[in-house]
């Protein structure tokens, strides 16, 4: 009597089918590099990592007889690398944008304090120009140390504290815009909102 050995029925060439999940993992891992280009693709590294983990489980199942472990590991490495780079780039970009917004607010506030209304108005969008005179009447305010992210993409909010007791506070909305100078697109930051709260104050010494 002969005993049937399952191994004897396997492909004598040793061929094993490649896991489709492993192939998808390495493809998605490469595509997740798009996360470095735009935050819109920020979810791709997460998807690639999830597929890679599923692929590792797929090829590691007892009796699965599937190849693709290296592909799954490569996909996981690509997803992790691109995901970490995207997060770092986003954090650095956010920090730089916050500093730019605060700097723009400082320059704008200095122009208002020094009575350079034309310079201040040139830094304003159409809806914020009316706030220049109101802010000047308040003595310019005191710029807060940090800018907070606003409710829109690229929008930042800088709070201004009263310059003196009895003065008024203000809130600046600052956004980057793109203008064309000599045929070249240039980023320009504008004060697109200027809300003044409280009674105007007289400059000291009057």
Q: Which residue has the tokens 């590099």?
A: 33
What does the domain layout of the chain look like in residue ranges? 15-92, 95-197
What is the per-residue pLDDT for 203?
37
As a whole number of Å, the end-to-end CA separation of the chain is 117
Taking residue 99's Cβ as centre, other Cβ atoms within 10 Å add up to: 12
- Measuring CA to CA, which residue among 138, 122, 204 is closest to residue 171? 138
Q: Which residue has the tokens 């040793």?
A: 14
Confidence of residue 14 (pLDDT cuts 50, 70, 90): low
Q: What is the pTM of this model?
A: 0.65
β-bridge partners, 196: 170
Confidence of residue 206 (pLDDT cuts 50, 70, 90): very low
Model confidence over 1-11: pLDDT tens digits? Answer: 444 444 444 45
Model confidence over 56-68: pLDDT tens digits? Answer: 999 988 876 788 8
What is the per-residue pLDDT for 163?
62
Angle between helices 20-31 and 69-113 (to 10 degrees): 20
What is the per-residue pLDDT for 76?
95
User: When comparing pLDDT for 148 and 96, which is higher?
Assistant: 96
Mean pLDDT of the chain: 79
Confidence of residue 170 (pLDDT cuts 50, 70, 90): confident
CA dist 158 and 161 (Å) reads: 10
- Measuring CA to CA, which residue among 194, 189, 193, 206 is closest to residue 135? 194
State whether residue 116 is helix, strand or coil.
coil
pLDDT tops 90 at residue 55:
yes
CA dist 201 and 131 (Å) reads: 15
């Amino acid at each position: 009597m002969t005993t049937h050995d399952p191994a004897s029925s396997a492909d004598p060439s040793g061929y094993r089918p490649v896991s489709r999940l492993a192939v998808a993992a390495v493809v998605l891992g490469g595509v997740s590099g798009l996360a470095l280009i735009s935050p819109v693709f920020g979810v791709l590294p997460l998807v690639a990592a999830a597929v890679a983990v599923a692929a590792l489980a797929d090829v590691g199942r007892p009796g699965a007889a599937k190849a693709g472990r290296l592909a799954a590991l490569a996909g996981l490495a690509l997803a992790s690398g691109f995901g970490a780079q995207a997060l770092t780039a986003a954090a650095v970009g956010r920090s730089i944008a916050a500093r730019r917004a605060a700097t723009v607010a400082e320059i704008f506030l200095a122009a208002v304090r020094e009575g350079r209304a034309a310079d201040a108005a040139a830094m304003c969008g159409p809806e914020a120009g009316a706030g220049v005179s109101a802010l000047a009447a308040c003595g310019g305010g005191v710029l807060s140390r940090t800018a907070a992210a606003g409710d829109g993409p690229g929008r930042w909010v800088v709070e201004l504290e009263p310059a003196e007791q009895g003065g008024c506070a203000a809130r600046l909305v600052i956004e980057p815009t793109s203008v064309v100078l000599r045929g070249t697109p240039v980023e320009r930051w504008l004060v697109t909102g200027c809300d003044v709260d409280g009674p105007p104050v007289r400059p000291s010494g009057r």
